[in-house]
Amino acid sequence: MKTFSHLLKALAWIAALLFFAAGAMLTYEVTARYLFVAPTIWAAELSQLCLIWGTMIAMPWLLEANRHIAVDVVTDRMGPRARTVCRILSMAAVALLSAFVAWKGGGIFLDSFERGRTTGSMLDMPTWVSELAIPVGFSLLLLQALIELTRASGGHDDADNSRDGEVSA
């Protein structure tokens, strides 16, 4: 599990770089379009690709680091046992949803890959490049949800013990 945790942290850093690259590309596009009246054919589509991949590969790290959005007004008022049950149920729901989306997303990716679909834009990129991010990201999220489910089931509810200290490299 430690190796998987290191992989997730590396993917989170890659996601951060992808978000930075998307911002840089969009800044360049706006500057080129409005200042020099010379729009690009690549900036919008490639920045969108960076945002999709960055989001998908960052999801499992966010779950591991307990940095996802949570509405804990109810669970904070529960006892430890009820909180653990809620954690188990929520991780089971995340795992089931992730498995379903990874499976369906994999089918969409394979269909696009086999048919050779493209975006239809001036760049005309293959659509499978962006569609592959869905099964990859949700498969990784499924694995992390199963790890979190195992932790919660074993009485190691790490959601209460902040793992936020793992953020810095």
| pLDDT digit string (tens) for the chain, length 169 residues | 799 999 999 999 999 999 999 999 999 999 999 999 999 999 999 999 999 999 999 999 999 999 988 888 888 899 999 999 999 999 999 999 999 999 999 999 999 999 999 998 889 999 999 999 999 999 999 999 999 999 999 866 545 444 444 443 3
**DSSP string spanning 106-137?**
HHHHHHHHHHT-B--SSS--BTHHHHTHHHHH
> CA-CA distances (angstroms) from residue 66 to 38, 49, 147?
44, 26, 13
CB atoms within 10 A of CB 44: 18
